[in-house]
Structure 1
Amino acid sequence: MSVFETILTKAYKSTEWNKEKTLTSPNRGVYFGDGLFETMVYQNDELRFFGFHLDRLLEGMKLLGLNESKISPSEIIEHCKSIYQGEPLRVRLTIFRDGVGKYTPISEGFTQILHLTKLDKAPKIKSKAIVSKKVRLSFNSFSHLKTTSSLDYVMANKERQEQKADEVILLDSFKNVAESGASNIFWLKKGIVYTPSLESGCIAGISRRVLMKELIGKGKEVSEGLYPLSELLQAESVWVSNVSGISMIESIENSEFDTEMPDFLKGLL
């Protein structure tokens, strides 16, 4: 296992992180997807936007009824520092509830998995995007969180792969634009930046939060709402973003867009 493929686990009652290649089965992560995860970037001796990631993680833990006090941000940072060799790291923290049982939870404890790998940055341009015909997202009290119940995104990206596309666009159950296969989506039209609201069932992405905050701070008009696919297809430019960066979209189905990154986006992620 190289420095760019380090996996550590920590049991609920343990004070130590251990290197393990396998996990005990059965567990609620495998059985029910009863867990959460955050994907972060470690670079220049810091976890980028770590405070925002913690906000979302702790919100999810509170909703699931997990013991938030058992999360130690300093331990996560120390492990990143211990293997950092100057190249950005992709840091995934996954937690799943302890115990097994049936659907009803029986514990507030959880196991943590820290997975550190080399970061692959987002491509500047994604040439071909399709609209998923097999997956529709729905809004609920936890749809904005990154849960380990991610079959919608697995199936959407399988569809993308089968059609040899670079990106897949997901709609909600009312056929409004929601997000892409692993990123939030934005578009520019007549000087206004548009992005789907959380009511579409999209993830409350960290890069989404950062971009909206920065653009509004620069005086840019940002409109958040429920938009049919036709609104997206009339855009001047379209981009998707996650922790790995921003990618401009060249085409969606038969519509083409400007792939020159707008000046107001440069350097933000």
Structure 2
Amino acid sequence: MQLLYNNRLLQETELRMPLTNRAFQYNDGFFETIIIRQGRLSFWEDHVQRMQEAAVSLQLSLPPYLTSPAFPEKLLDLAKQQQAMEHGRLKLKFWRSGAGIYTPETNEADWLATVKQTTPVPILPLQVGLCRQVRTQYSSLSHFKGPNAPLYVVASIEKDTRNMNDMLLLDLQNRVAEFISSNVFWIRDNKVYTPALETGCVNGVLRRNIMRWCRQNDIVVAEVLADVDHLYHADGVISANVTGIKRIASIEEISLPTQHPLIEKLYKGLFE
């Protein structure tokens, strides 16, 4: 497999990382997952914005060419090498350069890009459980991907142990936060709701686009602090990330409605 490491094209076998690598030693970085559909980087501008927000929170200096028109073209060239232009998963990983202990030697960033060919995710309704092992917690680092990864690893282990499709995570105050790798939305009386970032949920790229689409189409959308009972009484619940929108069929074996005109409109408005 070919990859990009600090803007250099390498074979996977050529990649060498020192033991002082701060991503390995301290998880001192973040990552971004971008879906390639029909030769395009989906929601690229929103991904760039979130990467810049993550860099500010971590006090990382990203390479200036990240925002140049040539950079996404280089990423697509990598996707062509991997035959992933029709449908692929691009992962961009950024971490602080240099060594050091907790105090870093520099704020400059190293980065790595990999692409894998994928297929569209199934859209079957999901059976979801309430996560019992871990809780989300708001911080200046909770809105992007990477620093809190062990939280989602433990939740995923619970998911497999309990034979669920996904887990609904709550915050420390028992308020709905998110799913393992996606945001949660629910519909009630033709209004759309999603947890506030105060719950510690990731500020997902599709989350931003759903909220933007609702406002553009005069649909009320609100960020709220709500317990799980709000989902049990909703007209529809969905999970949403850059791979797509999925209906939630049940939470803790309590059945939920899976058909609602707004869900269809959301999907068509954002993916068709």
Tell me which residue corresponds to 1:45.
39
Tell me which residue corresponds to 1:172.
171
Amino acid at match of 1:231: H
Structural mapping, 1:6-155, within 5 Å: 6-10=2-6, 16-21=8-13, 22-24=15-17, 25-72=19-66, 73-74=71-72, 75-84=74-83, 86-155=85-154
Tell me which residue corresponds to 2:212.
213
Contact 1:126 1:166 in 2 (8 A): no
Aligned mates of 2:255, 2:23 — CA distance in 1 = 41
The change in CA–CA distance for 1:102 and 1:210 in structure 2 (over 3 A counts) is same
State the aligned residue count.
Answer: 261
C-alpha root-mean-square deviation of aligned residues, in Å?
1.8
Per mean C-alpha deviation after superposition, the further-off stretch among 121-130 and 54-63 is 121-130
Runs of 4+ in 1 over 6 A off after TM superposition: none
Amino acid at match of 1:35: G
Aligned mates of 1:23, 1:85 — CA distance in 2 = 25
**DSSP 3-state at the match of 1:107:** coil
**DSSP 3-state at the match of 1:179:** strand
Contact 1:185 1:196 in 2 (8 A): yes
- Relative to the length of structure 2, the TM-score reads 0.89
- Relative to the length of structure 1, the TM-score reads 0.90
Contact 1:137 1:172 in 2 (8 A): yes
**DSSP 3-state at the match of 1:133:** coil
Identity %: 30
1:159 shift after superposition: 0.4
Contact 1:137 1:171 in 2 (8 A): yes
Structure 2, gaps ≥5 residues long: none
1:86 shift after superposition: 4.7
1:80 shift after superposition: 2.7
Aligned mates of 1:239, 1:169 — CA distance in 2 = 11
1:117 shift after superposition: 0.7
Deviations 1:31-55 (A, max 9, x none): 1110111100122332111000000
